[in-house]
Amino acid sequence: MTDVPRYTNVNLQEVRANNLAAREIVSSLSDAMPSIAHLWARIYDALAIVPRLAAEISRLRNESVILRHRYANLVAAGRATLGAARDAESDPLYYLRDELRAQGHLPPDPWGRS
């Protein structure tokens, strides 16, 4: 596939581990310096969003893989359609229709094929 992802690969397991370590440090410091507990609580709350962000990154990565695959299939179908038209096949749009149906963009054909 020619569509190469354009993102920096972040190790989410490492992010989660570092976040846990930071939260443990903040908890320890909060116990050691209770006079500024309200500040430690704010830092702890700020760190609490990291696991949700990591989960969202995972979800978006998975969605991106699926979308890139679907895009590549559409490009392949488009190229096959152009090749079929160049070769004067009887139904050059078959490849494009077939992929659009496979991705749910067209209803099943009248003969029951999806």
pTM > 0.75? no
Q: According to the model, what pLDDT value does residue 5 have?
A: 61
Is pLDDT at 6 greater than 80 in this prediction? no
Confidence of residue 110 (pLDDT cuts 50, 70, 90): confident
Give per-residue pLDDT as tens, 42-82: 999 999 999 999 999 999 999 999 999 999 999 999 999 99
Of 5 and 40, which is predicted with more confidence?
Answer: 40
DSSP per residue, 46-99:
HHTTHHHHHHHHHHHHHHHHHHHHHHHHHHHHHHHHHHHHHTT-S-TTHHHHHH
**Which SS3 state, helix, strand or coil, does residue 26 take?**
helix
